[in-house]
Structure 1
Amino acid sequence: MTRRTVIKAAGAGVLASGAATSARGASRAAEGDTLVVVEKSSHAVGFYDVASGRSLGTVQLPDYPHEMVVDSRRRFAYVGHYGVRMASTVGEGGAAVFVIDLVGRALARTIDTRPFRRIHGMGIDRDDRLYALSEERAVLLGFDDPATDGAPSRAVPTHGVKTHLFTLSHDGERAYVTGLLSHTVSLVRPHDAAVPPLLVTPGQLPESSCLSRDEKTLFVGARKSSALVAVDARTMEVRHSRKTGGDPLRVYTLDDERLLATDITAKTLTVWSTDLRPIRSLRLDGTPAAVSLHPSEPLAYVSLLDTDRIAVVDLDRLAVVGGFGTQREPDSSVLLPARP
């Protein structure tokens, strides 16, 4: 039985309760796994044992770090210094990428990105080249060897306004950048600034996106339009749009047939088909922001901003099977499995 069949058998369209159990209620597959979490209002990155919820250490950072990615060797994490609490917060923000030593659980060094500020969206490709998005300048920065680089290797304009997040192709040759004020998604070529970006307006306030497994379709959450939108990843033409009835903050690819979306108005986690049909929703006990997925098990780790907790969700049953407390406002996270 496939994962999709399990969820459908549990009842398509059903809204399940998300009452959290203890961290020990999580799958045995999670024993020994570590969750690395950006705790933006505690200005830190925290390390947690998933099975027990026990804190393993904290790396203190300057004010308001936000997004994070990890290299393929799980040696370093790279955290953007946004420098303000929210996108609506006025201020020049931060101008740095923090390099976190995941083995030593310490700040290894800081890459200065000035004059590019409000570093928010972060991405890393299959060759471990790093990309960081300056919201203030609407420029995508590239780092060919981020473990040692002291400055960006390149920068390309995105032609959006208030560019917040981006989705990267595996080879790093395409980046899809959302503009919160331009209400656009830009297809840019991070390694060739001479190629003009292709833009589309998928709806109002597009924030997050994800690529299908074959990288032919881009799925976008248009927050003010309350819609999920499917866009041709090459032509940037809208293929299909579906109203969600809420505020789709983040969207993720689960497999060839399913997406996962967080809704911060309804406080739900919803599984959607890739043809944009709702399959099942889970109501949570907090406001879901970012999600990280276990690389080999059907588990999701959902950051609940307003309750300072991580909810561990079994994606086969779409049920909360564990959870633990964090410091203030957990945001992006990465799961480091005990067994690679």
Structure 2
Amino acid sequence: MRTLGLLGLSVAACAPVAGEAPSAPAQAGVSGALFVAGKFENRLAKVDLATGEQVVSVESCANPHELATSPDDRYVALACYGGTTVDIFRTSDLGRITSIDLGENARPHGIIWHANGDLFATAEGRQSIFWIRDPLSKAETVEYGTGKRGTHMVAVAPSANHAWTTDLGSKTVTRVDLKTRRAPLSVEVGEEPEGIALSPDGKTLWVSARGSDKAFALDPQAMEIRQEVDTGDFPLRIAIRPQGDFAVTSDLADGGLTVIDLASGKAVRSIAVSSREEAEAKTQVTIIWSPDGKRIYVAETTANTIAEVDFATGKVLRRLPGEGGGDGMAVIQ
């Protein structure tokens, strides 16, 4: 584990960079919108993907992190990591419509807007996750304790029967039974597991352990490790292509992405988003796929930019605005 390196990267991740984010060139054939949480300046912004321009920016909440859009793409939910709420905004104009309080010291971070219309969010400060039922109306909350330190990111089964969290401080991944409320089941997975993604068929859980420079494939029910895959340096996040054929890790310390073929469970190539020398200055954090699986959006948090990467070629097509330390992202097409 690279203690000194991690300390340096942590400091960089908390330090804002002055100056306006650059405008990006238009891209033919690209449509939709990108939503970006600016955690250093407490902002939520919308970027038009056709023009590459930021079109709306509003005040959000304290230290916003992860985002999730509703199944109908009309709303975006924001996890307010510096506070206790999940706030919901319209995607059209970023007007805030509701704020759902999860209780004292909640510090919500990971968030999923499930296909069934409900929200799921981690509450790191409470060592738990919340199921928010009917968030646009009754917003009934049910809390499930993990008992683990640093309950950070979350994945949810297509059936919504189970959820899984990465627990940074405890070095564990935890399975939570959402329907029967049986005791949670945890397993150690490398050093500092943080990124998490469930395959579209729900049969494999992928976790990136940033302190181990590895991705792990787990049986999501037995909670047993099936495979280990070497990645680049400090894989902060892992995201699975919507088609379910590839995953990528966001390798913060070397500014790259590791591409994993999910059929073989092997790393098949790497994509350079920035050079290793630039990596700490840009602080590559969150990654998301476009819904069509053709592009990867990479948050370069301290550079106030979002790199748009063509998956087929590995080329960085342009850098979009990531105002105020862009971290959490969501995209609609």
Identify the TM-score tier after normalising by the shorter chain: 0.7 to 0.9
1:310 to 306, 312, 320: 306
Instruction: Report what 1:128 is aligned to.
Output: 117
Q: Between 71-80 and 293-302, report the one with greater CA deviation.
A: 293-302
CA distance in structure 2 between the partners assigned to 1:29 and 1:333 by the alignment = 21
* Residue in 2 that maps onto 1:177: 165
Q: Per-residue CA shift, 1:124-147, capped at 9, x if unaligned?
A: 221111111110111111111001
**Which blocks of at least 5 consecutive residues in structure 1 are unaligned?**
1-20, 84-93
Q: Deviations over 1:184-218 (max 9, x none)?
A: 0011012332x111211111110011112321111
Per the alignment, in what secondary structure is the counterpart of residue 203 of structure 1? coil
CA contact under 8 A between 1:25 and 1:321: conserved in structure 2? no
Contact 1:308–1:326 under 8 Å retained in 2: yes
Matched residue count? 303
| Corresponding position of 1:30 | 30
Measure how far apart 1:264 and its partner are. Answer: 0.5
For the residue of structure 2 that corresponds to 1:209, the secondary structure is strand
Aligned to 1:203: 190
Structure 2 residue ranges without an equivalent (≥5)? 1-21, 275-281
Letter in 2 for 1:58: S
Distance 1:48 1:301, change over 3 A: same
Instruction: Quote the residue 2:207 is aligned against.
Output: 220
Q: Which letter maps to 1:24?
A: P
Any conservation in 1 of the 2:39–2:63 contact (CA below 8 Å)? yes
Greater RCO, CA 8 A, separation 6+: 1
**Separation (CA, whole Å) in 2 of partners of 1:116 and 1:318:** 41
Equivalent runs, 1:234-273 vs 2, <5 Å: 234-254=221-241, 255-273=243-261
What is the CA–CA distance in structure 2 between the aligned matches of 1:25 and 1:53, rounded to whole Å? 5
Contact 2:154 2:163 in 1 (8 A): yes
Query: Are 1:113 and 2:114 matched, yes or no?
Result: no
* Residues 232 and 251, structure 2, Cα contact 8 Å, conserved in 1: no
Report the Cα distance in structure 2 between the residues aligned to 1:111 and 1:257, rounded to whole angstroms. 35
What is the identity percentage for the equivalent residue pairs of Structure 1 and Structure 2? 26
Larger helix percent? 2
**Residue 152 of structure 2 corresponds to residue 164 of structure 1:** yes
Q: In structure 2, do the counterparts of structure 1 residues 189 and 267 end up closer, same or farther at CA, with 3 Å as the change threshold?
A: same
Q: For the residues of structure 1 that align with 2:190 and 2:322, how far apart are their CA atoms?
A: 34
Helix, strand or coil for the counterpart of 1:265?
Answer: helix
Q: Does 1:287 align with 2:283?
A: yes
Aligned CA-pair RMSD? 1.8
| Aligned positions of 1:15-54 closer than 5 A | 23-24=24-25, 26=27, 28-31=28-31, 33-54=32-53
C-alpha distance 22-77 of structure 1, shift in aligned 2 (>3 A): closer
Contact in 2 for aligned 1:140/1:156 (Cα 8 Å): yes
Say whether the 8 Å CA contact 2:232–2:256 is kept in structure 1.
no
Kindly indicate whether the alpha-carbon contact (under 8 Å) linking 2:231 and 2:258 is maintained by their aligned counterparts in 1. Answer: no
Q: Contact between 1:45 and 1:61, CA under 8 Å: does it hold in 2?
A: yes
Q: Give, in angstroms, the shift of residue 245 of structure 1.
A: 4.7
